[in-house]
Amino acid sequence: MAILPIVIAPDKRLKRRSKAVETVDDEIRTLLSDMLETMYDDDGLGLAAIQVGVPQRVVVIDVHEKDEPKAPLKLVNPEIIWLSSERVIYEEGCLSFPNIFADVDRAAEVNVRYLDENGEAREIMAQGTLAICLQHEVDHLNGKVLVDYLSLVKRNIILRKLSKARRVQASDE
């Protein structure tokens, strides 16, 4: 397993639509394991492959509580097949937007169809943090990120802040 470098916004790769995986093979299984390790290392709840620069529809999620055992979910080609009409607003973060949090309005419950790491078709009904996380990660596969839910003004402030942080970091190195 390996920790992969995370793509930090603003980066045009994050706007890209990821391609469906044709075969769940060892390469995909390695990617899933590396993505999980990368996500745990950075204390994230979810990670989409494009966030490590791979434009494929591959996602990992783990929303276990701190004092509970790990509960990794590996999803290939996840597809939201049902959304509840009930909505919730949740303050979200993203590993590609360090230190940025934004209130996002989403469906409270979702049903997601996906392939597991053996290529078996599965479905998951989710609510709470898991439902939010699934919608956030599927958004990444479609080139959508959390700041896209904000007003243009707020979005530009955040993107400028991130660009500036990157310049400061680059000049420190």
**Minimum CB distance to Zn ion smaller for 94 or for 147:** 94
Contact indicator for 4, 48 with CB cutoff of 8 Å = no
Helices marked H in 89-151: 128-141
* Cβ-based nearer residue to Zn ion, 76 or 136: 136
Q: What is the C-alpha to C-alpha distance for residues 29 and 34, in angstroms, rounded to an integer?
A: 9
Give the residue with the Cβ less far from Zn ion, 119 or 150: 150
- Which CB atom, from 75 or from 94, has the smaller least distance to Zn ion? 94
Smallest gap from Cβ 143 to Zn ion, in A, equals 12
Q: Which amino acid is at 169?
A: Q
**Amino acid identity for residue 17 in this structure:** R
Q: What is d(CA 22, CA 128) in angstroms, rounded to the nearest whole number? A: 31
Looking up tokens 């980066």 gives: 11
Active site residues: 137
* Min dist. Cβ of residue 171 to Zn ion (A): 27
DSSP 79-92: EEEEE-S-EEEEEE
Residue least distant from Zn ion (Cβ) = 94
Q: How far is the CB of 51 from Zn ion (least distance, A)?
A: 6
Please report, as ranges, the residues that interact with Zn ion according to CB under 5 A: 94
Q: Tell the smallest beta-carbon distance from residue 35 to Zn ion (Å).
A: 12
